[in-house]
Amino acid sequence: MRKTLKEIAQAIQGEVIGDGSIVITGVSGIKEASAGDITFLANAKYTPLLNTTAASAIIISKDTEPPATKAVIRAENPSLAFAKVISLIAPAEIKHPKGIHPSAVLGKGVKLGKDAAIGPYVVIEDNAQIGDKAIIYSGCFIGQDTKIGDCALIYANVSVRERVLIGNNVIIHSGTVIGSDGFGFVEVNGKHHKIPQVGSVEIGDDVEIGANVTIDRARFDKTIIGRGTKIDNLVQIAHNVVIGENCLIVAQVGISGSTIIGNNVILAGQVGLVGHISVGDNAIVTAQSGVSKSIPAGAMFAGYPARPFLENQKSHAYVHNLPKMFELVKELKKKIEELENKLKDK
């Protein structure tokens, strides 16, 4: 976890400029970094941050002018080099469960991968499959025919229902529920009759899912979370939602049924989306927005109902200026009355 800058440079075949003896204790983005961190510069847009970042060292390209006051490592490809550094200075793993605890209840036909670890009081139903090196903490429930990929890490008290597919290297935090029934009813004479929810959920490789998240199974077909997408705590994902790759879904977001989210989308905290709409690739929705219509690719939306960010901001500015405006209109009214009187007099 503690490495000198020189040690890091050697590991990534880079060249130190500055003091190679400084000790690096963490990794971070260039904006969020604090003392002790190493960061990287891959986007010329952030070049001014070279001098202002609180990081102790920065990985830069061979063409970039190093800052006067900071130690750097010059590397062929700063992004790739930084990705290597992340795993290099990752902390010693906490001691995860090992082996199959004798209290684990394994159904008929359950297949456990090589070196999979199953904690106490885990229940795995018939014909479920657990991948190689997967780790499942105590109290988890894995439903029948569900398949969990290699190197999955599932913390305590997670519930995964039947026929769910979970990819490789997926991390799921405690209390999360995957594959619960979608919220689907038909009203017949004032009573809500349940529409069977017989679809499933499919979660791609490298997905991380926070604590106490809920992801409902599809009515038919699948609710899908694309590869590399990261989901924060207490997020609600309804039946038949499709989320693309490498999205960031921040805490307490709610996505209604059958809505489709593209790749690299960011939904900030507490955003809500109605059902049956789409959000294009690379779109960003700011915190607490309420999205009632589809959002085009690359757009940044805000507010309720969500609109293009600048438009929404302008609206806020106009509302802020209403007191002045009301004052002005009052004044104009008075002037008009004066003019009317003057004209009468003539």
Among 23, 44, 310, 339, binds its own copies (CB under 8 A): 339
Q: Burial, 212: exposed, middle or buried (Cβ in 10 Å; 0-12, 13-18, 19+)? A: middle
Rounded to whole angstroms, how far apart are CA atoms 146 and 27? 36
Among 4, 61, 233, 294, binds its own copies (CB under 8 A): 233
User: Is residue 288 part of the contact set for its own copies (CB under 8 A)?
Assistant: yes
Applying CB under 8 A, the span of 6-14, 50-58, 62-70, 338-346 interacting with its own copies comes to: 338-346
Is 316 one of the annotated active-site residues of the chain? no
Q: Between 63 and 114, whose beta carbon lies closer to its own copies? A: 63
Rounded to whole angstroms, how far apart are CA atoms 11 and 118? 34
Question: 129 to 148, contacts with its own copies by CB under 8 A?
Answer: 137-139, 141, 143-144
Quickly tell me which residue has 């593209």 as its tokens: 262
Smallest gap, in angstroms, from Cβ of residue 16 to its own copies? 21
Among 48, 298, 305, 310, binds its own copies (CB under 8 A): 305
H/E stretch holding 309 = helix 309-320
Among 80, 88, 260, 297, binds its own copies (CB under 8 A): 80
Question: 12 to 51, contacts with its own copies by CB under 8 A?
Answer: 25-29, 40, 42
Q: Which of 239, 276, 316, 320 is catalytic?
A: 239
**DSSP state, 264?**
S
Rounded to whole angstroms, how far apart are CA atoms 306 and 284? 11
Count the neighbouring beta carbons within 10 Å of the beta carbon of residue 261.
28
Rounded to whole angstroms, how far apart are CA atoms 203 and 225? 5
Q: Between 1 and 114, whose beta carbon lies closer to its own copies? A: 1
Rounded to whole angstroms, how far apart are CA atoms 196 and 279? 27
Question: 158 to 217, contacts with its own copies by CB under 8 A?
Answer: 159, 161-162, 171, 173-177, 180-181, 183, 185-196, 198, 206, 208, 210-214, 216
Rounded to whole angstroms, how far apart are CA atoms 99 and 114? 10
Question: 52 to 71, contacts with its own copies by CB under 8 A?
Answer: none
For β-strands 191-194 and 185-188, DSSP reports them as: antiparallel
Question: 84 to 113, contacts with its own copies by CB under 8 A?
Answer: 86, 90-91, 94-95, 101, 103, 105
Question: 258 to 277, contacts with its own copies by CB under 8 A?
Answer: 264, 269-270, 272, 274
Judged by DSSP in three states, 6 sits in helix
Applying CB under 8 A, the span of 13-21, 65-73, 78-86, 128-136 interacting with its own copies comes to: 78-86
Nearest to 142 by CA among 160, 166, 129: 160
